[in-house]
Structure 1
C-alpha cells in the first residue's frame, strides 16, 4: 500500500500547476497562492486533529514541526518561486528533482538506510528523465541565482522524506502537519502582496488546499510510514509526468520528443522501485 499512497500523493501534487493557473491568471502572485495553500491546508489538518482527538505533539515533536514549517514549507515554497524567477521553470524543475539524490545521502546519514547500487541507478535514471522532460525549446537559461535557489528548493523538498521518516513513527503525522503548515503560512505572510479574488479564484485556492495540500500530505505521510525514504522520493517523481499529462488533456500541451523519452525514464525508474522487493526475493530464492 505504500506505493499506492505515494502515487496518490504524486497525483494530488500534479494538480498544483494546472489549478494554480486559474489563480495566477487572475493576478495572484505565486507566493500568495503558496500562502493560502499552507494556511487552508493547516486549518484542515487542525480540524482533522480535533476530530481524532489527537494530543498536541510533545516538545521535541513540536519543535521539529515548527522547523519543518519554516524550512519544508516556507523556505521550500519561496526558494522554488525564486528559482523559477531567476532561472526559468525548466531549470527550477530539474533542480527541484535533485531531491532523490539528496534523500539517498540523507537517508544514509540520518536514517541508516543502505545505499544500494540498484537504487543509485534508479536515482540517476530519474534525474536524467526529469532533465529530458523539462528540456526547454529555446535552451537553458542558467544563472548563479537560479541554480542556487533551485538547489535550496531541492534540499528543502528532500527534507520532507528525511523529516517524515524521523518523526512520523514517533508522533501522529496529522498533528505534526497541523503545526507545520500554519507556521509556514506565518513565515510566508510578510512576502505576500494580497490581490482581489473572484469566486473562481477562491475555488481554485480551496481545491489546491484540500487536494494538493491536505490530501497530498496525508497520502505522503501514509506512504512514508510504509516505505524507505529513497523509494518514496523516487515514486513521487511521477508528479511532473502526471502534471504534463494533465496539461495535455486540459490545454493540448504536448511533450517534446525528448520529453517523451524523459517521461518514459521516470516511469521506468518508478516501476523499478516498485519491483525491487520482487527482484530481491527472486535473488534470495536462487541463492
Structure 2
C-alpha cells in the first residue's frame, strides 16, 4: 500500500508541474495573480462539491470545531502559497518559481520533527541535499549566469515554499478525522469563500464571455488542482509528511520539461544533471521497509 501511496504523490506532483500552461494563458487575458488564484480555487471547489454530492454526500459533513484545520489548509496554505507562486512566476520565471516552491520540503521536515516527532534520518537529510542541488542546477543558478533574479520574486517564491509546507502540516491533522476527499474539498471551499469577495474578477473586461477563459479556468481547477490534490492527499494518508513532500519535488522537473517541449526552452548539461539529482532524491527517500522498522524500534527504545 505504501508503494501505491508514493505513486499517488508522484502523479499528483507531476500534474502540479503542468500549472504554468494554464496560468500563463490566464495572464494573457489580463488577470492578476490574486485573480488567477481565485479562478483556480473556485473552479476546484465547485468540481469537488459536485463530485462528492454524486459519490457520497456524507463526506461533506464536518464538525464546526474542525474549521480551524481547513482555515489552515485553505487560507494559510492554498491562498497564500498560490499567490506567492503565481507572483514569483511573473517576477522571475516558471522554472525559478517552481524550484523556490520546493524549498517546502525543508520547512516540512523541520516542522514535522517538532509537531509529529518524525525522525530526521540520514536518508531524509541526504535526499533534501540532493533536491536542493538538483533544483539549483535546473534553474541555472549554478554555474552563475548573467541574468539578474528579482529579489522580491525570490522572497515571494520562498513564501510559496512555506505555504506549501503548511498544507502538508494542516492536512496531516485533518486526515486524522476525515477522508482525503473531504480534506481536499473543504480546503478549496474555504479558499474560494475567502478570495471571491476581494478578487475583483468582475472588473476584468469581457472575461466571462470569453470561451477560452472558461476552458483554461476549468482545466486549471481540474488537472493541476482537483486531481493533483486528491492524489497527493491520498498518498499523504499513508506516508510520512516529510517523506511525501520530498517525493513531490518531481514537480519542478515536470515544469522544466514542459518549458522545453511546449515553450521551446533549451536544457543545458547542468540542468540535465539537476533533473537527475531531483529524481534520485525521490527514489532515495523511499527507505526499505526493514530499515524503517529498525529506525522505529530504536525510537521506541529511546522513549
* Same fold? TM cut 0.5: yes
Measure, in 2, the Cα distance between the counterparts of 1:83 and 1:18. 15
Measure, in 1, the Cα distance between the counterparts of 2:293 and 2:108. 27
Report the TM-score when normalising by structure 1: 0.88
Partner of 2:206: 196
Partner of 1:72: 77
In structure 2, runs of 5+ residues without a counterpart are: 296-303
Segment of structure 1 superposing worse, 221-230 or 90-99: 90-99
Measure, in 1, the Cα distance between the counterparts of 2:193 and 2:103. 27
Using a 3 Å threshold, how does the CA distance of structure 1 residues 282 and 82 change in structure 2: closer, same or farther?
closer
Segment of structure 1 superposing worse, 106-115 or 193-202: 193-202
In structure 1, runs of 5+ residues without a counterpart are: none
Segment of structure 1 superposing worse, 217-226 or 94-103: 94-103
Q: CA RMSD in A?
A: 2.4
In the alignment, is the contact (CA less than 8 A) between 2:72 and 2:167 conserved in 1? Answer: no
- Alpha-carbon offset, residue 80 of structure 1: 2.5
Question: Are 1:173 and 2:180 matched, yes or no?
Answer: yes
Q: Deviations over 1:216-268 (max 9, x none)?
A: 11001111011111111111110110122123222332222221111111011
Using a 3 Å threshold, how does the CA distance of structure 1 residues 95 and 250 change in structure 2: closer, same or farther?
closer
Using a 3 Å threshold, how does the CA distance of structure 1 residues 107 and 70 change in structure 2: closer, same or farther?
same
Aligned residues: 282
Q: Deviations over 1:51-72 (max 9, x none)?
A: 3122421123222112321111
- Alpha-carbon offset, residue 47 of structure 1: 1.8
Partner of 2:298: none
Measure, in 1, the Cα distance between the counterparts of 2:116 and 2:49. 28
Kindly report which structure 2 residues correspond to 1:208-247, keeping only aligned pairs within 5 A, or say none. Answer: 208-247=220-259
Aligned partner of 2:288 among 277, 283, 286: 277
